[in-house]
Amino acid sequence: DPKIIQKPKYLVAVTGSEKILICEQYLGHNAMYWYRQSAKKPLEFMFSYSYQKLMDNQTASSRFQPQSSKKNHLDLQITALKPDDSATYFCASSQVRQGSEVFFGKGTRLTVV
Amino acid sequence: GEKVEQHQSTLSVREGDSAVINCTYTDTASSYFPWYKQEAGKSLHFVIDIRSNVDRKQSQRLTVLLDKKAKRFSLHITATQPEDSAIYFCAASISNRIFFGDGTQLVVKP
């Protein structure tokens, strides 16, 4: 029974289009994250949110915008998609305190053609 | 920022042997070091962690060693089994940001 739900599981998008990756967690956590995994960069930290506020942004491009409409949601909007954006995007969550175990969702595999 | 390195991209061992995966980190502010396992086509699962106030932690067949002076930590797996085959990621954490190494593909041959 997955506690971190990511939708969709697979996504194919056309270059230049916009997509939203959905993430919901039911672990009662107040910190949520996005990571990206590709052949070029095995596991890359993108964003962290704490109590629905952006804490850290390691993504250079403004094409990536996290959106937190509820405290257990952290969606990722990606605009002007490029083939280089093809990757698996993992949502994760944890308690806010330092050193808390981070739990990962199953990922959304995005392919940009 | 923190940079975590795993120098072994692949490690192959025989079933029953021990496996050791080594990592280094750069930022002395890192205080939490988790390890994750990723099986083919699946997500990451936590396996073990160590905090900077200790230098060794054991959980069944897994032991993590931390050398803060050398900024080095390692995962030791004893009595390896085929189901241990996976990619193992080490990580270092500062203020809830976790930085991962590039992963080590562990292959346990029967």
Residues on chain A touching B97 (C-beta within 8 angstroms): 45, 48, 56, 58
Residue A84 tokens read as 């280089």
Per-residue pLDDT reduced to its tens digit, B3-14:
999 989 999 999
* A55 with B31: Cβ contact below 8 A: no
Per-residue pLDDT reduced to its tens digit, B26-56:
999 999 999 999 999 899 999 999 999 999 9
| A 46-85 residues with CB < 8 A to B | 48, 50, 55-56, 58
Residues on chain B touching A104 (C-beta within 8 angstroms): 36, 43-45
Burial A69-106 (b: 16+ CB within 10 A, else e): eeebbbbbebeebeeebbbbbbbbbbeeeebbebbbbb
Q: How many CB pairs under 8 A join A and B?
A: 55
Residues on chain B touching A35 (C-beta within 8 angstroms): 100
Per-residue pLDDT reduced to its tens digit, B67-109:
999 999 999 999 999 999 999 999 999 877 889 999 999 999 9
For the CA atoms of chain A, what is the radius of gyration? 13
Q: Is the dihedral of CA B88, B92, B97, B102 positive or negative?
A: negative
Looking at residue A1, its pLDDT comes to 64
Taking residue B88's Cβ as centre, other Cβ atoms within 10 Å add up to 24
A90 vs A73: CA distance, rounded Å:
13
For the CA atoms of chain B, what is the radius of gyration? 13
Burial A29-52 (b: 16+ CB within 10 A, else e): bbbbbbbbbeeeebbbbbbbbbee
Intra-chain end-to-end CA distance of chain A, in Å: 32
Per-residue pLDDT reduced to its tens digit, A68-98:
999 999 999 999 999 999 999 999 999 987 7
What value, to the nearest 5°, has the Cα angle with vertex A83 and ends A79 and A89?
65
What φ, ψ does residue B83 adopt, rounded to 5°? Answer: -70, -5
Closest approach of chain B CAs to the CA of A97, in angstroms? 7
Which stretches of chain A drop beneath a pLDDT of 70? 1
